[in-house]
Amino acid sequence: MNGKKVDLMSDNMDKKELTEKSETQRIILPDPTRLILSPSPHIQTGPGTGKIMLLVIACLAPAIVASLMFFGLHALRVLVITTASCAAFEYLWNRISGRKSTLNDFSAILTGILLAMNTSSLTPAWVCVAGAFIAIIIAKQIYGGLGQNPFNPAAVARIAMLTGAAGAMTRFPAPNSIFFAPIPDALTTATPLGAAESFSAMGKGVEYFNSSAFLWRAFIGETSGSLGETSALAILIGGIGLIALRIIRWHIPVSIICTVAVFVSLVNHFSPGTTPGVLFHLFSGGLLLGAFFMATDMVTSPVTVKGGIVFGIGIGILVCVIRIYGSYPEGMSFAIVLMNALVPLIDKVCYIRPFGHQNIKSGRIEPRRGEIK
Amino acid sequence: MKIFRFKGGFHPAGHKELSAGRMVKDLPLLPRYTVMLRQNVGAPPQVCVKKGDHVEKGSCIATAAGILSVPLHSPVSGTVGDMVTVPGPNGTAVEALEIFSAPAEEQKWDGTLAPIDEWRDTSAAILKKRILDAGITGMGGAAFPTHVKLSPPPEKVLDTLILNGAECEPFLTSDDTLMRLHARAVLTGGAIAAKILGITEIIVGIEENKNEAVSAMEQAAWGIPGVNIAVVPLPVKYPQGGEKQLIYALTGRKVVLGTLPMDVGCAVLNVGSCYAIWDAVLNGHPLVERITTVTGTPVVSPGNYRIPIGASLSAVLENAGGIRERSNVGKIIFGGPMMGFAQYSLEVPVSKNTSGILLLERTEAAQFTGGPCLCCGKCVEHCPMQLPVSTLSKACENERYDLAQKNHVLACLECGVCSSVCPARRPNVQHFRKAKTELKEIQWKEKNKKI
Amino acid sequence: MVAVLILAELYAAGLIIGGIGLVLGCVIGLVVLFFSVKSDDRIEKISELLPGANCGGCGFAGCGDFARAIVEEGADPASCVACSALLASEIGKVLGREITVREKKVAVVYCSGDKSRAVACAEYNGLSDCRAAAAYAGGGKGCRYGCVGMGTCARNCPFGALEIRNGLAVVHPELCTGCGKCVSLCPRKLIHLVPASSKAHIYCNSLEKAAVKRKVCKAGCIGCKKCVKAFPGLFNATGGLVRAVEPEKLTREDLEKISCPVHVLHLVEEDFPCENVEKKEQKQ
Amino acid sequence: MTIAELLPVTVGAVLVNNIVLSRILGICPFLGVSKKLKTALGMGCAVTFVMTISSFVTAVLYHFLLKQPLTAGSFKNLDLSFARTLVFIVVIASLVQIVEILMQKFSKSLYQALGIYLPLITTNCAVLGAAELNAASGRGIILSTIYGCCSGLGFALALLLFASIRERLELSRIPKIFQGASIALVTAGILAMAFMGFAGLVK
């Protein structure tokens, strides 16, 4: 510090200052050459990109623990392979395209975990690596990296694996029985959704899926299915954590869940027996995981609150249409990618009106209303 | 009284306790002052003194040139030096007049402006002339000449005068201290301005976190006959002190893009300008000093100082006790942290609209890395003008000014909220400031091409 | 008998398909009669001839707009800075009138203060755009007149003739077509259009006195006026700066005679050491 | 004309086997015109208009002139359906010519915006594809027209989606080698993959 030696003894310091001061105080002035010169504003609030991604991973932790609990080592294997290959592909891309490494914003690791959550624990390694390649390189990096991709990378990779390697993706193991008795043999290979689909196709009743025993089992998560999807309880804990930390807005998940509930109850009302009840649809398949973690991905969801609600309703309808009428048992990833395609249109249609917009449009000046006192 | 809450805005940490609640300390006499010529919006004044002339405190050193200009006055009695170029507060080097001060005992006011005690009977024209002669400008941020603001075109009928005591910028407490100590003077100044405008309704907007100031102003309000004054505590939110937001909060009227406060029948005056009006009319003192907050964690003794206009930054910091031992100062800011200007040299003189001098540690100071936009919608949610900020930011980044104009970039207040809350640390305000200058230049070229 | 049948079928097929074609042809004829719009074909011919870079040097929105202006409003084709003499004469042939072509102009940046020679007075953290930085203390550069070096001109040059080298804009004369887009873009007004044949310039733009200039930049013109004394006609001195009035008349020998002490007055090729390496071998 | 017949044709044409994203027809205007939303809308309407009328005209021609042109007389078994593609092309070309003249007269700006892509509708395989599919599936005239109109709407929907995504991609920092057509093709691929989700919707 290039401090200047100045004696400061002047009378107008008030009493509190005098006691602090010794008889001569060395005045230090800041060094002007090491100042940062930048236009306003000069303070920043709220977490940065990296911190946000870390918080989302933290909120995913309950779902990860539940999947490890139910599917054991296989789950760990898939989780590690997918996340590691996602990070590796991102590092390779940055190295090839000469950009500085963007691994420190943890988005690649988050995508990896989300992708692993969507796959079953028996997925072969090559399918995981191929999924990671599609998620990171094709769905994100060639659009210019984080923030520029129109589609959710995890959802795109899930669809690609589902349509590409259908065989590998539809083998689901039975969960370790911790809370309930081992599940009946009819359900071992297929997910609850798949079983419900085949039951209704063969004309057998779907009451079993509405029984409270099965619903409790689906809520806790002890049914066969993808890694993160089975345990609705774990996802709800993580989701409410996300909303509490104000990382996502509640409008998208709530509108998805309400739309699905309305649509399924309508279908049950008009043509009963084709599909199980509302709670079954909410707790099984990737609905909750998609609603709280994938549909609310900031980059690919609408910016405004109104847009979020329209986005949620769209996903809800598409999920039910594909699940009930389509041939695929699980429609969440398709619904998310289809609605991601609509997001630019939604942003264009329901953008918020600027302050006093109606006056600008009509050209008239706000009349003097608003009384004083 | 009904308060209208405006959407958007955010709640930064106040840090007001650093400099609030203390007495105002006067700056001791400095050997040399550099008074900047261009201190107001509009044409700079013409110098009317030569090198070596002896001037008294408050005697005119530069006369107004044109309607949108105000005269300049010497802060001290002393001799005039020569014209020097000094680094100005907003980054560009500016012309300034040097004044070397005479010894302390020879300091006396120049009595050309005689005090007017019966201001209620004197005509509005004389009062407005006095405000012009005293060189009073807006002291909030934009230094707009007050006498022009108090003479709206005849067809615009005004019915409310709003005194802006909101001071929503973090760290700053100069208006708060002014209202606490000189409540009666501020309200008298406001009453004089109301008399010039010919209206009787005055509303004073003060943020709730300054309860001492609110109670002081309420007591002083009873003693001012002839005008009914309403002191309204406002919710604490940045940018509550913005002109458009303050008018909407107090009267529910919206000042939209392309219109001025006078179009909705309001006039807004900063509390500091009212005090300066009172000082000019009743004491005959031109605007040569102002109360400025010197604050920030590195400052040894932060507080509010009465600083003569033209005092250099290094002198002010010396009298504020300099900076602490281990502090590593990242930024020195003139004004508040949200809309202030960062400085790069210690020779910058204090001007009429320097409401604060703020020192930030290198860790506290914001660094914009301009990462990719996550479209998280925080900026859109917090923008007080409800603009589609993320689309605008990306459009300006790719220099698509047509797209920016279509999304109302010209309505941007440059309040800095969107850059502060952005998780990707994007310099959105700087993009919009550039886009606005480019669009104004394009409009200016089109106008000239037609003529 | 079968052959006759096949022939008949072919005739029938030909008749039916021919009939459909004929009917549709008449329908189109009717539509053209009622709704046709006349358009001038010379516009298309000229717009093909123009370079098509839409650089705006001619003052119109783009080459298409310029072609329409040439035909309808009689704009002067020579005002297209990017097209050569032979192109202008061809446009003249299409229009049927003779075109005079002005001497080709090239841009030059009057500053040599890159990061190694100019002093930075603060650490700038703002938009990397010259016009935004110039409005805000010159982006931390000490010299108030010097090149801010954030590349706005290089990004917007339609012909890619400008390059930012270590914080200083440098013009490649052979690529530059003199469209003048960068001249209006530079906030410090450093870029000027000079005749293409000019060989040397004084690369400084600061009117400050030498003492002030040396503090912020080691490569500024110190106004010693050696060159003015040697060739009074070719240079004129304003304030602390000397400017070459007719740079095309300066030759390599003149420069060696003047031998500017601060090397501010130097040849254009010296900015491109790699290109004129073989010239140096010839000299040794 | 019951709902059971109508639904598979309409939903099938717009969503399940969308003419662009599932049958991969009409890709060159799909990539060429989708730079701006306005021109995409204009192109979508033009193609839907041409497809509807051409499906109607081609269905009529196919059923009355090409299948068994003369019911009586010696040429009873004369079957010209082999020449349907030739006739369809002639019909579509003349229709597009008429649309071009009308558009030049009535909305000059849209005409300039579409530029070369308007006459290109003649060779647009989506239009010819719809006519061919109608003829091959042996639908009635009214059903063919509805199918033509719906697949035109499907084309317009896909074009609208794609144009809005590309307008947003213009503002993002895509690496140099992927800019332009390559990023458009990747996006179209992902969109097509998403549309596969509708498989089996129509039994």
Give the whole-number percent of chain C exceeding pLDDT 70. 85
Task: Identify which of B108-117, B356-365, C70-79 has the greatest average pLDDT.
Answer: B356-365
Confidence at A80, pLDDT banded by 50, 70, 90:
very high
Q: Which two tokens stand for residue B281?
A: 């009319």
User: Alpha-carbon distance B273 to B81, whole Å?
Assistant: 29
- State the pLDDT at residue A282: 87
| Alpha helix positions (H), A165-283 | 166-169, 192-201, 207-210, 212-220, 232-244, 251-270, 278-283
Residue, of C281 and C266, whose pLDDT is higher: C266
Q: Which two tokens stand for residue D89?
A: 């092309």
Q: What is the DSSP string of A298-350?
A: GGGS-SSHHHHHHHHHHHHHHHHIIIIISS-S--HHHHHHHHHHHHHHHHHHT
Q: Which is nearest to D9 in space by CA: D159, D118, D103, D145?
A: D145
Determine, for residues C123 and A37 on separate chains, whether the beta-carbon distance falls below 8 Å. yes
Q: Tens of pLDDT along B123-175?
A: 889 999 999 999 898 887 778 888 888 888 888 888 899 999 988 899 999 99
Report chain A's C-alpha Rg in angstroms: 27
Determine, for residues D193 and A337 on separate chains, whether the beta-carbon distance falls below 8 Å. yes
Q: Which of A10, A147, A354 sits opposite B408 (nearest CB)?
A: A354
Determine, for residues D105 and C9 on separate chains, whether the beta-carbon distance falls below 8 Å. no
Residue, of A291 and C77, whose pLDDT is higher: A291
Domain locations along chain B: 1-26+116-365, 378-450
Residue, of B92 and A23, whose pLDDT is higher: B92
Out of 3.40.50.11540, 3.90.1200.10, 3.10.580.10, 1.10.3260.10, the CATH code matching B1-26+116-365 is 3.40.50.11540
Q: Which is nearest to C36 in space by CA: D105, D100, D97, D96?
A: D105
User: Alpha-carbon distance C240 to C219, whole Å?
Assistant: 14
Determine, for residues B434 and C132 on separate chains, whether the beta-carbon distance falls below 8 Å. yes
Mean pLDDT of A250-279: 89
For residue C7, pLDDT over 80 is answered with no
Q: Tens of pLDDT along C111-140?
A: 888 888 888 888 888 888 888 888 887 777
User: Alpha-carbon distance A219 to A230, whole Å?
Assistant: 8
For residue A369, pLDDT over 70 is answered with no
Confidence at A185, pLDDT banded by 50, 70, 90:
low
Mean pLDDT of A236-245: 93
For residue A2, pLDDT over 50 is answered with no
- State the pLDDT at residue D183: 93
Residue D115 backbone zone (phi > 0: left; psi -120 to 50: alpha; other: beta): left
Q: State whether residue C249 is helix, strand or coil.
A: helix
Pairing outcome for strands B228-234 and B329-334: unpaired
Give the whole-number percent of chain B exceeding pLDDT 70. 100
Report chain B's C-alpha Rg in angstroms: 22
- State the pLDDT at residue A6: 41
- State the pLDDT at residue D72: 62
- State the pLDDT at residue D73: 64
User: Alpha-carbon distance B309 to B76, whole Å?
Assistant: 10
Residue B159 has a CB neighbour count (10 Å cut-off) of 16
Instruction: Please report all neighbours of B, defined by 3+ CB atom pairs within 8 A.
Output: A, C, D
Determine, for residues A326 and D161 on separate chains, whether the beta-carbon distance falls below 8 Å. no
For residue A371, pLDDT over 80 is answered with no
Confidence at C84, pLDDT banded by 50, 70, 90:
low
Chain D: residues touching C (Cβ < 8 Å):
61, 65, 69-70, 74-75, 78, 80, 83, 86-87, 90-91, 94, 97-98, 101-102, 104-105
Tell me which chain C residue has its CA closest to the CA of residue A33.
C122
Determine, for residues D197 and A338 on separate chains, whether the beta-carbon distance falls below 8 Å. yes
Residue, of A254 and A214, whose pLDDT is higher: A254
Task: Say which DSSP state B282 is in.
Answer: I
Mean pLDDT of A27-55: 87
Kindly report which listed range (A33-37, A350-354, C273-277) carries the lowest average pLDDT score. C273-277
Out of 3.40.50.1000, 3.40.50.300, 3.30.70.20, 2.30.130.60, the CATH code matching C105-283 is 3.30.70.20
Kindly report which listed range (B204-218, B401-415, C190-204, D74-88) carries the lowest average pLDDT score. D74-88
C21 to chain D: which residues are within 8 Å by CB?
90
Confidence at C56, pLDDT banded by 50, 70, 90:
low
User: Alpha-carbon distance A111 to A136, whole Å?
Assistant: 8
Q: Which two tokens stand for residue B64?
A: 């107004």
Number of H helices, E strands in chain B: 13, 17
For residue A52, pLDDT over 60 is answered with yes
For residue A332, pLDDT over 70 is answered with yes
- State the pLDDT at residue C167: 86
Q: Which is nearest to D130 in space by CA: D2, D6, D26?
A: D26
Kindly report which listed range (B226-240, C55-69, D129-143) carries the lowest average pLDDT score. C55-69
Q: Are B447 and B441 in contact (CB under 8 A)?
A: no
Q: Tens of pLDDT along C222-240?
A: 878 787 787 777 777 777 7
User: Alpha-carbon distance A259 to A236, whole Å?
Assistant: 17
Residue C39 has a CB neighbour count (10 Å cut-off) of 8
Q: Which is nearest to B291 in space by CA: B274, B308, B277?
A: B308
- State the pLDDT at residue C82: 66
Confidence at C101, pLDDT banded by 50, 70, 90:
low
| Alpha helix positions (H), B334-423 | 378-382, 389-397, 401-406, 417-421
Q: Calculate the average pLDDT of chain B.
A: 89
Q: What is the DSSP string of C14-34?
A: HHHHHHHHHHHHHHHHHHHHH
Mutate to test the interface with D, among A158, A161, A337, A351 (most CBs of D within 10 A): A337
Instruction: Report the predicted TM-score, pTM, of the whole model to 2 decimal places.
Output: 0.86
| AA identity, residue A267 | V
In chain C, where does the domain assigned CATH 3.30.70.20 lie? 105-283
- State the pLDDT at residue C100: 64
Q: Tens of pLDDT along B256-312?
A: 877 888 888 899 999 999 999 999 999 989 999 999 999 999 998 899 999 999 999
Task: Say which DSSP state D15 is in.
Answer: I
- Chain A, chain C: beta-carbon pairs less than 8 Å apart: 23
For residue A361, pLDDT over 60 is answered with no
Q: Are A112 and A57 in contact (CB under 8 A)?
A: no
Out of 1.10.15.40, 1.10.3980.10, 1.10.3720.10, 3.30.70.520, the CATH code matching C42-95 is 1.10.15.40
Q: Which is nearest to B342 in space by CA: B321, B358, B353, B327?
A: B358
Q: Is C129 on the interface with B (CB under 8 A)?
A: yes
- State the pLDDT at residue A225: 80
Determine, for residues B395 and D170 on separate chains, whether the beta-carbon distance falls below 8 Å. no
Give the whole-number percent of chain A exceeding pLDDT 70. 86
Out of 1.10.3470, 1.10.10, 1.20.1440, 1.10.3430, the CATH code matching A49-174+184-349 is 1.10.3430
User: Alpha-carbon distance A111 to A128, whole Å?
Assistant: 12
